[in-house]
Amino acid sequence: MPQDCIFCKIYHRQVPSTILYDDGQAFVIRDIHPRAPVHLLIIPTRHFTYLTYLTESFEPMVGHLFTVAEEMAKREGLGATGYRIVVNQGSNSGQEVPHLHLHLLGGKRLGPLG
């Protein structure tokens, strides 16, 4: 665990946060700066920085994040109306925390990307 990773600190209970879901492989928290009425972060418990370093051994972990996102969308009541999953990758995308994570956004009609 990198000493300065906020997500690792949250998972290891070194920084307070409400963890909505935790199965030992991934955990979910609410974004502190939400861009939609529902804005969750789905985060692998294993520190992984960038998709650039993705190897075949990480594919099950990345797939699991999407399974958790679907479960959380159902829990948040987004299944019928829809939602967006976003991965920001690198500084030009707006990635603020260098630990791979998915953004699950919904609860209102979302505008176009760009």
- Examine the pLDDT at 100 and tell me if it is beyond 80: yes
Sheet holding 38-44, edge to edge: 21-22, 26-30, 38-44, 102-106, 83-86
Average pLDDT over residues 75-102: 90
- Amino acid, single-letter form, for residue 5: C
Average pLDDT over residues 41-59: 88
CA 62 to CA 70: how far, in whole Å? 13
3-state class (DSSP) for residue 28: strand
- Examine the pLDDT at 2 and tell me if it is beyond 80: no
- Examine the pLDDT at 8 and tell me if it is beyond 90: yes
Domains belonging to the chain, first-starting first, are 6-106 (3.30.428.10)
Catalytic residue among 12, 64, 99, 101: 101
Indicate if 33 belongs to the active site. no
Average pLDDT over residues 62-67: 95
Average pLDDT over residues 22-33: 96
